[in-house]
Structure 1
Amino acid sequence: MTPVPGQDPGPRQDGPPPAAVEAAGRLGLPGRRVTVAGLGVSGVPAAKALHALGARVTVVNDGDDEPARAQAAELEALGVTVRLGDGRTLPEGTELIVTSPGWQPAAPLFRAAEAAGVPVWGDVELAWRLRGPGAAPWLAVTGTNGKTTTVQMLASILAAAGLRTAAVGNIGTPVLDVVLSGEEYDVLAVELSSYQLHWAPSVRPHSAAVLNLAPDHLDWHGSMAAYAADKGRIYEGNQVACVYNLADPATEALVREADVEEGCRAIGFGLGSPRPSELGVVDGILVDRAFAPERHKNAQELAEVSDVHPPAPHNIANALAAAALARAFGVPPAAVRDGLRAFRPDAHRIAHVDRIDDVDYVDDSKATNTHAAEASLAAYEHIVWIGGGLAKGAAFDEMVKAAAKRLRGVVLMGADRAVIREALARHAPEVPVVDLDRTDTGAMAAAVHAARDLAHPGDTVLLAPACASMDMFANYKARGNAFAEAVRDLRAPGAGQ
């Protein structure tokens, strides 16, 4: 576990820290028969942690491929029982299940657990229950899009305030690893997915934000209402602030439904001029009327829009949400400014790749659904859009209608490009469309060349696929890398011929 650069992580030690051992005792984990559902990024650390805390651990996993066998061998060497190729049957004597977040609630294993009265926790729930007295509070973030960027911004702001912190959770570093590391933090910036929240009924953050809500993962949750309800769990028990998006009434509705600590406030953020208890933007300045002195009359300047990288509208909204959580924790305005100035987004998130012949090439391969792509398309005035991939059942009409006036041209590729092409025919029939009948990885080079031919000086060629990548690429990162490589090749001798 690596803390934010420049922060003293405190002492490390071998084995679980005393606070976790004490908590495990209170939970009755020593000697308890615990089944871990799934290997992978969260399952293996959970199994190791439970074993180290004295539980009798069995891991069940549907897959039986080479990576799973390697992970199983590692765990079996510790004394953990692993059953590969059978994740449906509840092991005899199971008293608790700890599940990887991706396992669906309707899975046969969980139906059997319900029938047997066996509780099911996620790895986040386990981490929360293993925290000791005085553990670092959580500032938590969820939403359909923007979670990772907002959590990273938040961690940068907290670090600028001199706080020992780390960005953890769904962002890539399991929060369970942090709790069991023995490192000392003042506060944690925690990204939580809807999957994780579903299996974390006891988590009670200091403050939390829901950035936005749009249809996603409905095959897992079963309905939009269930998806929203799981997102809304992040507000339960909040102590200081429930942060919501003024542009998305569904997020405010979740605040109204939450059971919070007495005195906890609803704090809105948006791109307009803020009212009391809101953060917003005035004349290019990010301002706070939620935590400022005499907020009913005054606003506190936090940073300039130009301090946000990149200053696209949805990224400014992310910065406001991060600032709201930091201010709820008592961070001073100067740290918000300094943290935002220091922050740079990860690759493949509205990343400027190059400018060639007065045309900008931007990689937003992380825009894997229509909500994210619509926000990305709204950030530029004239766009040649590269889209397509696995649509996951999404509809594209609203996104295309919103972007139609900005589109100079469109290049489509991937398995479900026909769905986008039909939406374009309905709502942007005058926009030229290049339909690449390809799903091979080499199609990206053809897409970039086609986009270059459609672009005019001053335009932006934008990869914001609005779809998943797995029909053509290993993941969105590989797709973004292919785009960047194809753009670089435009500068090669003979590329323009």
Structure 2
Amino acid sequence: MPSEFTGKHVTVAGLGVSGVPAAKVLHGLGARVTVVNDGDDERSRAQAAQLEALGVTVRLGDGTASDSGSAAGLPEGTELIVTAPGWKPTHPLFTAAEQAGVPVWGDVELAWRLRGLDGRKPAPWLAVTGTNGKTTTVQMLASILKAAGLRTAAVGNIGVSLLDAVTGEEEYDVLAVELSSYQLHWAPSLRAHSATVLNLAPDHLDWHGSMEAYVADKGRIYEGNRVACVYNVADKATEDLVRAADVEEGCRAVGFTLGTPGPSQLGVVEGLLVDRAFVEDRHKNAQELAEVSDVNPPAPHNIANALAAAGLARAFGVSAAAVRDGLRAFTPDAHRIAHVADVDGVSYVDDSKATNTHATEASLAAYESIVWIAGGLAKGATFDELVAGAAKRLRGAVLIGADRALIREALARHAPEVPVVDLDRTDTGAMLQAVQEARRLARPGDTVLLAPACASMDMFTNYNQRGDAFAQAVRELGA
């Protein structure tokens, strides 16, 4: 069946997990597709061969080259660019596109425009972004929606790809969509049913160019919302984004808070998650949704995630019972504030996913007395504010990784009384020594917490391998 893409010259920028599906979908819709990719490694060549077998043109290691007679960096005849999220807005290809008047979409924008192309009713999107907590919140939301009997999936940066979700054979009632700031930057026409920005802290500033640009791209998620813009009462910047958004008439601002909720908010009262937003006479009434103990784990930042997920689900009309059942059924991914074991009265917790200071701040706030294992690649971060805020909770600290000196210096300035073990090694075996040193510092009732506040690639393949190394070291303690 002919589509708006039939015969259209489309350039796909980048291969990988988003570029390859985009190229395949566009080719299947009749577009004349050229893929440009800056890299030319073994994986890229394998992906290129797969696409070329379908009739797609692929140019490896040549993402900025120009054809004769074309604008610099723009394949001749290009009418549309669909880009992978990682390509920076300053890439020469996009500069050339702007000069030539060629629109640039991301894979999310393409997926949004392809909804209902096969004649099916498009599934509404409940969308989630934020600096931290996106994946957990989307998974909680999907669990709640499933508990309500709805056909759904966690999609976007997680689980099923958005393009597969909107073009595949399976039909959905609603989608729980995780969106990064990169994806939102290239999604100008996205209009969610309801959306949330969980929190905002400096991140990916090298890509966006400034904190203001990063925040603005996060705020795109609220544009055109139909029912609810869910924001974090404790993070005023998220509410400011709601106020600035151009939404549909009747769309409501709904806050979530770890305190007692006011009207049009969800919050916590005496160990209960309660709703004062989606109830009759919200100025007088509240609806119990679940117990705090239904949230796994019941750390403060994870309770906030649960409230945000509940807010989006309630905006879609989900019952209080389904919120409770969905939260009870939810199991968090590995390495997200995961309890590993108790050894000699000390609890060992793996939050290897805490790769920046904002995530680590939330992790440290979840425990009263901590021996903190931290360090790795700082990615330009500073640690003074983090350490100053957590100083009273620290029993001790064990530092690993390439940039551990930055944390050590912050501890010396803001927590000089806290004993620090500085491990001058970056091999993977350092984790076993770190856990052994933490055990020496800990007392019964303490928590040994791996919350590195840094990326892992100086010592490990990724944060998963780092968390696995921690868990294995803890198991060896208890052997």
- The partner residue of 1:34 within 2, 10, 15 is 10
| Aligned equivalent of 1:219 | 206
**Structure 1 residue matching 2:470: 3-state secondary structure:** helix
Residue of structure 2 in register with 1:176 after alignment: 163
SS in 2 for 1:385: strand
CA RMSD of aligned residues (A): 0.9
Aligned with 1:76 (options 36, 52, 55): 52
Kindly state the Cα deviation for residue 172 of structure 1 after the two structures are TM-superposed.
Answer: 3.8
| Whole-Å separation in 1 of the counterparts to 2:93 and 2:16 | 18
- Tell me how far apart the structure 1 counterparts of residues 74 and 360 of structure 2 sit (CA, whole Å): 41
Within 5 Å, give how 1:207-356 maps onto structure 2: 207-356=194-343
Give the deviation of 1:134 after TM superposition: 2.2
Q: Find the aligned partners of 1:452 and 1:387 in 2 and give their Cα distance.
A: 15
Match of 1:95 in 2: 79
Q: Does 1:384 align with 2:360?
A: no
Is the CA contact (8 Å cut-off) linking 2:153 and 2:160 kept in structure 1? Answer: no
Alignment map for 1:90-239 (pairs within 5 Å): 90-132=74-116, 134-239=121-226
2:19 matched residue in structure 1: 43
Deviation at 1:384, TM superposition (A): 0.5
Q: Which structure 2 residue ranges, 5 or more long, are not aligned? A: 65-72
- Specify which of 387, 399, 413 is matched with residue 412 of structure 1: 399
Q: Give 1:351-430 correspondences, 5 Å limit.
A: 351-430=338-417
Shift of 1:437: 1.2
For residues 479 and 76 of structure 1, the distance between their equivalents in structure 2, rounded to whole angstroms, comes to: 37
Residue 58 (structure 1) aligned with residue 34 (structure 2): yes
Taking the aligned partners of 2:160 and 2:376, their CA distance within structure 1 comes to: 28
**CA offset digits 1:56-100 (Å, max 9, x no partner):** 111111111111111111111111111111111221111111000
Deviations 1:213-252 (A, max 9, x none): 0000000000000000000000000000000000000000
Question: How far apart in 1 are the matches of 2:476 and 2:44?
Answer: 38
| AA partner of residue 257 (structure 2) | G
Q: Percent identity?
A: 82
Report the AA paired with residue 306 of structure 2: A
Match of 2:62 in 1: 86
Q: Runs ≥4 in structure 1, deviation > 2 angstroms?
A: none
Q: Give, as a single letter, the amino acid of the residue that structure 2 aligns with 1:313.
A: P
Task: Give the length in aligned residue pairs.
Answer: 468
Distance in 1 separating the partners of 2:429 and 2:301: 31
Whole-Å separation in 1 of the counterparts to 2:51 and 2:177 = 27
Separation in structure 1 between the aligned mates of residue 279 and residue 460 of structure 2, nearest angstrom: 47
Superposition deviation, residue 182 in structure 1:
2.2
2:47 and 2:477 map into 1 onto residues whose CA distance is 42
Residue in 2 aligned with 1:495?
none
**Which residue of 2 is the match for residue 12 of structure 1?**
none
Q: Say whether the 8 Å CA contact 2:11–2:34 is kept in structure 1.
A: yes
TM-score computed with the length of structure 1 as normaliser: 0.93
Equivalent residue, structure 2, for 1:471? 458
Query: In structure 2, the residue corresponding to 1:490 is in which secondary structure?
Result: helix
Distance in 1 (CA, whole Å) between partners of 2:283 and 2:213 is 37
Deviation at 1:439, TM superposition (A): 1.4
Alignment match of 1:442 (pick from 429, 438, 461) = 429
Partner SS for 1:260: coil
Amino acid at match of 2:36: V
